[in-house]
Structure 1
Amino acid sequence: MASPAKQNDSDDDDVFAEAFKRHKYKNAFDEDKWEEEFDKIPMFMKTVPDEIDPKDYPELAHLQAIIHDEDRTPEEKAHSLKNEGNEFFKEKNYQKAIVAYTAALKNKCGDQDLGTVLLTNRAAAHFHLGNLRSSLNDAAAAKKIKPDHLKALIRGAQCCVELRKFSTAIQWCEEGLKAHPTDKKLLELRTTADKHKRSAERDARKAKVKEKKLNNEKEALMAAIKERGVKLLKPAKPHQSGSDGDGDRDEGASTEIAELSLDGLSSHKATGAQVFLDEQRVLHWPVMFLYPEHQQSDFISAFCENNSFLDHFVVMFGDELPPWDVDRKYHLQNLQLCFEDEERETLYKVDPETSLLKVLQHKRFFVKVGTPSFIILVNGSTFWKQYLTGKKISAL
């Protein structure tokens, strides 16, 4: 049997255990967030927070207060901040490194060597972040303090190469090589900059030759169109009104080509076809055929001006009719080709054996958006009769 003393000790232990369960230890870690709280202790921190609130990080705030102690000299503060920036740089946290280097520079300690290092270090951090102009500015500021500072000279040359300022990069290298004639990095950068400069100059010459060739081709094309008397229709402005109906249509017609592409014709916009002049000075046009009865269209990217419409119709409506022609009506002998003069509400019938050039030279034909357009109907069909209602019919 247990003695009374031992029994009392056991009872006290039980009471203490129960109390321990009910009352948690003050300032202890939260059971659910212990890892998060553990990470707030400076010794065990993996990363430093962007903003330090003394309430959340009291120990870290005290340490920073020691580092940035107002009683320390500007030079001491600058050195501490430089070291802090260097640590951030090693961790590849370049944004925080820039903040630290900037704070160090604001101390204006008067130490030119330290100032040069801080500017060069900040230039490196900016460079790694892709802030090339800021990096170049810092390198230039460092070089202004110490013209022979190797890291500043290398960084400045690197920035100029990345910014494609190859001539300026060569100047940086030449300045650096005067003080450091055997430095491999400067020699390498000068070679790279010179190579890129030559390549850029060569590309510029090629582009200039190409532009001149394109301008000459465009001038020749414009001259050929003007010689043939083909009229191009300028895009109408909202406030423009049409002519009175009987006179030739001069307003809106032009011998200048603003857009010789399919812009505005969404169904064929992706082709990018445009009129061109071949080596025999023959024009080839992109031509659109419209079938209003079926809301369909056909497109010929290069219709030679000397070819007749029949040359193409034999292929388009020869052995096989279009799949959308379910009634099998679009046979060669049934086709009615025409173009529409919207201003006069007139349809001009075109003989399929006529050449494209002859139609383009008609006084009432205007090329819209660089693409001549024609309508194809089935002669004598119900739709044909409805379509002609209210329109004048004229032969070419």
Structure 2
Amino acid sequence: MKEQPTTAQQKQPMSQTEIPETADAMAKLTTAETPGTDDDAVARHDDAEATKPELPAIKKQTFEDIMADLNKSPLFMTEMEENDDIAALQALSYEGTPLENGVDFKARGNECFKVRGYVDAREFYTKGIQILAREERARAGGETTKSPDGVDGADGPGEEVASQRAVLEALLVNRAACHLELGNFRSCWTDCAAALRLNPANVKACYRSARALLAVGRVDEADAVCARGLALDAGNAALRQTAREVAARARELGDRSRREAERRAVRARREQLLRAALKARNIATRTTTKGQPPPEMGGAKLELVPDPDDPRSSLAFPALLLYPEDLESDFIRAFDERQTLGDHLSYVLPLPWDRRGAYTLAGVSCYVETADGGVLKLGKRVPLLKVLGTGKVEVVDGLLRIYVLPNDRAAGWVETFKRAKKAELAARQGG
């Protein structure tokens, strides 16, 4: 009985002479299983790569650019361009002749229109228009369009061509009716104009065009279209009613225009009287909002009172009482030229926020800015006209600004104000 080898003997590593022999055996096995050499495999790979179609270089594109490129392909189109080639491709998807397809879409549109499905009806009419308009453009461009009766559409109208134009005219007028119901007034009269080019005697096109023009206030054009339609059919009840509405609207717009013209004339006359009154009193004014509306003052404005149309009336100024030491203000809607500052301070003072009691009629000094950047003290018992009539004080943007300060702070504020104005003037001149 032979002795079995021990575990240690089974796990004994191969000798150095056995390793090369094993490697040679593996190499032979690999060669036997894989026909050809490594060089042959590389050559085959290169040949395969050479036969691959070359792909265009990838450009850096935004999402919008990619979608725009896709939309150029009929497979991915979401919006159809006005293009004869695309229209031709579209026509191929329908069975029958262009005339038959146009009639079919007209019938479908009419069914939708009867149940007030104006959007769907418009879409059906549009499909029919696209098919027949493409035929019309082809004939206008000199292309040959063969009809079932064998007549060449480019050389003569023929029965088929005449029928196509009649259906196209009806489709345009019907789509105009949809636009009118949907409030697309411009599209309505555009379709009507196209229908009238095909048939100048289409009364429906005149009627619907007039309704659309009237809806947007283009009364003169609506009146002209009504007159054209009534010249074709004087007894048309719908057109006669529309003509009456146009006439009423014209009278209304005429009255409105006259009233507006009268208002402009009154405004211009009052402005002229106001300028004359200011000049006669030697009151200087300045506007800083040229080309822009004046500051909003709740309806208050520089004007003649009590009658703005009477040159003998007095001037009244909106006035702003500014308290620069406390960053507060009060607004006086009408400061009459005959009044004094004391007349207004008597009801403005005391101030609700003045806890120190610094603002009293006897304890405040008041100033107005002069045209040269200085300040002029305003007496409490002096009529406003006497101060403004010196010509030294400017009324800026129709608003009189009066600075009110406690007596103990007035001198310091005046010096600070003058320095600030001087620096501002220097900066303006330097710029």
Asked if the contact 1:259–1:369 (Cα under 8 Å) also holds between the matched residues in 2, the reply is no
**Residue in 1 that maps onto 2:410:** 384
Instruction: Give the Å deviation of 1:209.
Output: 1.5
Corresponding residue to 1:72 among 96, 107, 110? 96
Q: Given the superposition, is the C-alpha separation of residues 67 and 137 from structure 1 closer, same or farther in structure 2, using an over 3 Å criterion?
A: closer
SS at match of 1:332: coil
Residue 226 to residue 98, structure 1, CA distance change in 2 (3 Å): farther
Matched, 1:348 2:372: no
Q: Which residue of 2 aligns with 1:285?
A: 317
| Aligned residue type for 1:333 | A
Partners of 1:355 and 1:66 in 2: CA distance: 86
Cα displacement string for residues 246-280 of structure 1 (whole angstroms, at most 9, x for unaligned residues): xxxxxxxxxxx97794x2xxxxx351421011333
Structure with the bigger RCO (C-alpha within 8 Å, sep 6+) is: 1
| CA-CA distance at 1:304 after TM superposition | 0.8
| Structure 2 stretches lacking a partner, 5+ long | 1-73, 77-88, 137-160, 420-431
Match of 2:342 among 303, 306, 310: 310
- Partner residue in 2 for 1:148: 201
Corresponding position: 1:294 with 2:301:
no
Aligned partners of 1:85 and 1:101 also within 8 Å:
no
TM-aligned CA distance change 1:70 to 1:325, over 3 Å: closer
State whether structure 2 residue 388 is matched by structure 1 residue 360: yes
Give 1:248's aligned residue. none
**Matched residue type, 1:75:** L
Aligned partner of 1:322 in structure 2 is 351
The 5 Å alignment of 1:20-169 reads 72-89=96-113, 90=115, 91-94=117-120, 96-97=123-124, 99-106=126-133, 107-108=135-136, 109-111=161-163, 112-169=165-222
Secondary structure, aligned partner of 1:93: helix
Does the C-alpha gap of structure 1 residues 392 and 126 become closer, same or farther in structure 2, counting only changes over 3 Å? Answer: closer
Establish whether residue 273 from structure 1 lines up as the match of residue 297 from structure 2. no
In the alignment, structure 1 residue 218 sits paired with structure 2 residue 265: no
Q: Deviations over 1:230-255 (max 9, x none)?
A: 1112439xxxxxxxxxxxxxxxxxxx
Shift of 1:392: 6.7
Q: Which whole-Å CA distance do the structure 1 matches of 2:90 and 2:283 have between them?
A: 86
Q: SS where residue 182 of structure 1 aligns?
A: coil
Closer/same/farther in 2, CA of residues 385 and 100 from structure 1, 3 Å limit: same
Asked if structure 2 preserves the Cα contact closer than 8 Å seen for 1:105 and 1:115, the reply is yes
Taking a change above 3 Å as real, the CA distance of residues 258 and 217 of structure 1, as seen in their structure-2 partners, is farther
Counterpart CA distance in 1 for 2:251 and 2:359 is 61
Q: Deviations over 1:292-350 (max 9, x none)?
A: 12111111111111111111122222xxx221111122221112111234854x43211
Structure 1 residue 224, shift from structure 2 partner: 1.0
Q: Taking every aligned residue pair, what percent have the same amino acid on both sides? A: 26
| CA–CA distance in structure 2, aligned partners of residues 117 and 197 of structure 1 | 31
CA distance in 2, matches of 1:260, 1:311: 31
Asked if 1:371 corresponds to 2:403, the answer is: no
Change (3 A) 1:68 1:272: same
One-letter code aligned to 1:206: R
Amino acid at match of 2:105: L
Amino acid across the alignment from 2:196: K
Which residue does the alignment assign to 1:204? 257
Q: 1:362 to 1:176 in 2, by over 3 A?
A: same
Greater helix fraction, Structure 1 or Structure 2: 2
Letter of the structure 2 residue corresponding to residue 276 of structure 1:
E
Tell me the distance in 1 between the aligned counterparts of 2:178 and 2:237: 22
Gaps of 5+ in 1: 1-51, 55-64, 237-256, 264-268
Cross-structure match for 1:58: none
CA separation of 1:299 and 1:70: change in aligned 2, threshold 3 A: closer
Cα distance in 2 between the residues matched to 1:392 and 1:177: 77
1:131 Cα deviation from its structure 2 partner: 2.2
Cα distance, 1:364 vs structure 2: 2.6
Which structure would you say has the larger Rg? 2
CA contact 1:260–1:369 (8 Å) conserved in 2: no
Give the letter aligned to residue 324 of structure 1. Answer: W
CA distance in 1, matches of 2:132, 2:354: 80
Equivalent AA in structure 2 for residue 164 of structure 1: G
Which residue, out of 322, 331, 338, partners 2:360?
331
CA distance in 1, matches of 2:236, 2:167: 23
Q: Which amino acid aligns with 1:315?
A: Y
Contact in 2 for aligned 1:123/1:135 (Cα 8 Å): yes
The aligned amino acid for 1:308 is T
Cα distance 1:76–1:147, how it changes in 2: closer, same or farther (>3 A)? same
Question: What is the distance in 2 between the residues matched to 1:84 and 1:103?
Answer: 15
Determine if contact 1:81/1:103 at 8 Å carries over to the other structure: no
Q: Distance in 2 between matches of 1:372 and 1:325?
A: 23
SS of equivalent to 1:153:
helix
Structure 2 partner of 1:192: 245
Following the alignment from structure 2 to structure 1, what is the Cα–Cα distance between the partners of residues 97 and 288? Answer: 73
